[in-house]
Structure 1
């Protein structure tokens, strides 16, 4: 059975899931953004079948999240480097860390978000576009954008 594509959707969440919605893909992006680059490093980290790893890496390359760069000619071998699009996925991963720590870690946090330079703990925050004001998550919502269809405007009308 052919899987439905979410690309035609105007919802940015649906479009994002089309790119990285499979859990192996999200874990591969986590590892790539933490510095893993090579097939064997990903395989070791995730204990994933080689055929599945190949499919997921290829899908992330096709989605523009990773760039495939040769590092050896004999035999031909590649490294997988996050693109700018892939690097921007870090905010999604940090949101997962925050949410998982709050709701899925009764034994305590095994991973914490910290400032790379100072080591100080961080929490997920939003700022206004002008970056003049920090806002807590409960003050954030969504609204129709300039390209929203009538259906999207209706959907978001009551939010």
Structure 2
């Protein structure tokens, strides 16, 4: 079956899934956040096949989340370092970890804790509003069309009801005035 590319979809979730949509890629990034940098160390820590790891590392370099830095000349060998774009993925991984800790951990608790070095506490991810710092949830946000939403799609009547403020409040009529769709 041929894979559908999402890189040109007008949706940030779809575009992100286009890069990270297999199960190995987020795990490679997780290991990079844990300090793994060398190919053999990624392979050993993940138990991943060399061909699959090569593909994932190349894709992450191509997409600008990792950079290849030589550490040996003969033979040439590289380490993989997180770029700014890659480091910006950290909150996504910690949000996934928080969800997994809540819904997938066994009775003994989370397998890994994140210690916040600033205050010294074990911490977890929380998605908050950038303005008021209150938690964001599906029940207190409304998706709106942004400046990057293609003009050609604004004309499609079936696309608009999912978004607030675009079709005379159709979105607000769903879910008690709230809508969780969009990205």
- Superposition TM-score, scaled by structure 2 size: 0.78
- Give the alignment of 1:3-152 within 5 angstroms: 3-107=3-107, 108-130=109-131, 133-138=132-137, 140-144=140-144, 145-149=146-150, 150=154
SS in 1 for 2:58: helix
Task: Give distance in 1, aligned partners of 2:133 and 2:58.
Answer: 38
Larger radius of gyration: 2
SS in 1 for 2:26: helix
SS in 1 for 2:53: helix
> Hey, what does 1:156 align to over in structure 2?
163
7-16 vs 134-143, greater mean Cα deviation: 134-143
Task: Give distance in 2, aligned partners of 1:24 and 1:30.
Answer: 10
| Two-structure CA RMSD over aligned residues (Å) | 1.8
Higher helix residue share: 1
Return 5+ residue gaps in structure 1 as ranges: none
Q: Residue 74 and residue 3 in structure 1: after superposition, are their counterparts in 2 closer, same or farther (change >3 A)?
A: same
Return 5+ residue gaps in structure 2 as ranges: 165-170, 172-178
- Superposition TM-score, scaled by structure 1 size: 0.89
Alignment size in residue pairs: 157
Task: Give distance in 1, aligned partners of 2:2 and 2:93.
Answer: 28
* Cα deviation code 1:107-153 (max 9, x no counterpart): 211122331233213243344434xx321233642422222242554
The answer as to whether partners of 2:67 and 2:80 remain within 8 angstroms in 1 is yes
Task: Give distance in 2, aligned partners of 1:155 and 1:11.
Answer: 13
